[in-house]
Structure 1
Amino acid sequence: MAQLTADHIESNEALGDYLAAHEAVLLLFGGAHCGVCQSIKPRLLQMLVVEFPKMQLCYIDCAEQGEIAAAHRVFTLPVVELYFHGQPFERFIKVFSMAEVREAIARPYQLLD
């Protein structure tokens, strides 16, 4: 089984490069003091490893990377954004279920090479 880790991004430029380099990316905007963020992060990682192994999880700590959060209009936590081929596909804000995220990933994920 793949290792359960999330990539951490530290600048808007690095995020742009990351999105261009990977065909499927789940961005999780969170914070160290956000209990929900810390709770869903391992669940998202597990879901990607088991069900969507081609998708990368990238974690943005909004307290440390406020510039990235502002550029993505993140005003509340958590926020999940899905990208396919560098393009935004879906966004989940504050209240959402893992099933909603799974369903949003499933169809475009099937179209990946």
Structure 2
Amino acid sequence: MQNICSEESLSQLLQSNPAVLLLYGGANCGVCQAIKPQLGKLCKEEFPGVVTAYIDCQESAGPLCAARGIFSLPVVQLWFEGQRFAEFARVFSIGDVRAALERPYGMLN
């Protein structure tokens, strides 16, 4: 999972990859740190074409998170072809993310 700290690098990531999973989290967020490896494993094993990225809202990417309207953690966004497809905030399961990925990911291949 790559780290993103600026709007420029986020925009480039979203434009250059057909499928992206973004995790907005924080170093002091226990839930964020617990789901980060689970989301990475999910994408690596079941959706290998999905690029994963982590944005730390409690550190250097704070302004980016505020500009994107992220005010609670964790938040997972799924992007396909540069468009936000789904967003999960605060209370969700890895199964919810898996279910949201299945159909659009299948259409990419």
Q: Same fold (TM over 0.5)?
A: yes
Which runs of no fewer than 5 residues in structure 1 stay unpaired? Answer: 1-5
Q: Identity rate of aligned residues, in percent?
A: 49
Structure 1 ranges of 4+ moved more than 3 A: none
Q: How does 1:46-57 map to 2 (within 5 A)?
A: 46-57=41-52
> Please, which of 36, 44, 48 is the counterpart of residue 39 of structure 2?
44
Between the aligned partners of 2:91 and 2:10, the Cα distance in structure 1 is 24
Q: In structure 2, what is the equivalent of residue 76 of structure 1?
A: 72
- CA RMSD in angstroms comes to 0.7
Match of 2:94 in 1: 98
Please give the secondary structure, in 2, of the residue aligned with 1:111. helix
Shift of 1:10: 1.6
Counterpart of 2:108 in structure 1: which amino acid? L
> Structure 1 residues 51-60 or 9-18, which shifts more?
9-18
Structure 2: which 5+ residue stretches go unaligned? none
Name the SS of the counterpart of 1:29 in structure 2.
strand
Question: 61, 69, 85: which one pairs with 1:89?
Answer: 85
Letter of the structure 2 residue corresponding to residue 83 of structure 1: W
Task: Give the letter aligned to residue 73 of structure 1.
Answer: G
Q: CA deviation at 1:9?
A: 1.0
TM value normalised by structure 2: 0.96
The question of whether the paired residues in 2 share the 8 Å contact of 1:12 and 1:67 is answered with no
* Equivalent in the alignment of 1:3: none
For the residues of structure 2 that align with 1:91 and 1:72, how far apart are their CA atoms? 12
